[in-house]
């Protein structure tokens, strides 16, 4: 494994480690962006209005139960006859990663909004704030620790699962694992797995630092006092 990492040939060209890491990050970023556009508004609506709690819980649990590898193969079989380009493989991969990222983002957003101190909301209403101003001026800032926690959980899951893109002939660090298995090159497989783990840890650390920058220390400490039933709702199922 050390010899593989020290070989300059493995760091150059279109199949080099830097290129594969970049592709892996692109898949992850696109999936998280789309999942955020879907999951955050849904979580905000349900958390603010209290409507659709059963629906959002059932939807999140259903998405968590989806078999990612089987789903990506099925989607490729459906999309490939319609698109004669690499998009026939990219689109199914992104869809699967988005479906994987939505539950933690959506449930954490909902849980964060519901956990906001009712006294703060009542004070804002008493000052004449309209519902949307209450949501974005009071509830969302107070819910930021849990919302960011949802993105951290989603990021870890997406980075670790994005290796399946290589299963349908795309790039990313999964290329090292898939190609290593085909070539019986276990050093290559181990390097791929190690780099995925390191990448996940580095990105998670960066998100943790971002949380310290954007979240008030007082709010961050208050997450430890959120009711247990609310915190359980925000924890992704294993």
Closest of 205, 195, 108, 192 to residue 149, by C-alpha: 108
How far is residue 101's CA from residue 59's CA, in Å, rounded to a whole number?
A: 13
Out of 2.30.130.60, 1.10.3210.10, 1.10.3720.10, 2.40.50.100, the CATH code matching 17-234 is: 1.10.3720.10
Domain chopping of the chain, boundaries: 17-234
Q: pLDDT tens, 51-85? A: 888 888 888 888 888 888 888 988 888 888 888 77
**166-194 residue pLDDT tens:** 888 788 899 999 988 888 888 899 999 99
pTM as predicted: 0.85
Query: What angle separates helix 53-64 from helix 87-114, to the nearest 10 degrees?
Result: 140
DSSP state of 236: P
CB 108 within 8 A of CB 154: no
Query: Which ranges of the chain does DSSP label H, i.e. alpha helix?
Result: 2-6, 17-49, 53-64, 68-79, 87-114, 118-126, 131-134, 140-161, 174-182, 186-214, 217-222, 228-234
């Amino acid at each position: 494994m050390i010899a593989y990492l020290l070989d300059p040939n493995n760091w150059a060209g279109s199949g080099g480690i830097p290129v594969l890491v970049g592709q892996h990050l692109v898949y992850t970023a696109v999936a998280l962006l789309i999942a955020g556009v879907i999951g955050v508004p849904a979580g905000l609506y349900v958390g603010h209005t209290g409507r659709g709690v059963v629906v959002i819980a059932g939807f999140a649990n259903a998405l968590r139960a989806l078999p990612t590898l089987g789903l990506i193969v099925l989607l490729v079989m459906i999309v490939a006859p319609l698109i004669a380009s690499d998009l026939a493989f990219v689109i199914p991969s992104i869809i699967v990663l988005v479906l994987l990222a939505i539950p933690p983002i959506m449930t954490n957003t909902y849980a964060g909004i519901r956990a906001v101190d009712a006294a703060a909301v009542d004070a804002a209403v008493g000052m004449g704030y309209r519902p949307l101003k209450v949501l974005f001026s009071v509830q969302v800032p107070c819910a930021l620790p849990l919302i960011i926690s949802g993105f951290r959980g989603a990021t870890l899951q997406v980075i670790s699962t994005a290796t399946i893109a290589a299963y349908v002939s795309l790039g990313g660090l999964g290329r090292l694992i898939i190609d290593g298995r085909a070539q019986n090159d276990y050093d290559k497989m181990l390097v791929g797995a190690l780099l995925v783990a390191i990448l996940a840890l580095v990105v998670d650390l960066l998100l943790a630092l971002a949380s310290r920058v954007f979240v008030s220390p007082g709010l961050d400490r208050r997450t430890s006092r959120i009711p247990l039933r609310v915190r359980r709702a925000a924890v992704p199922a294993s």
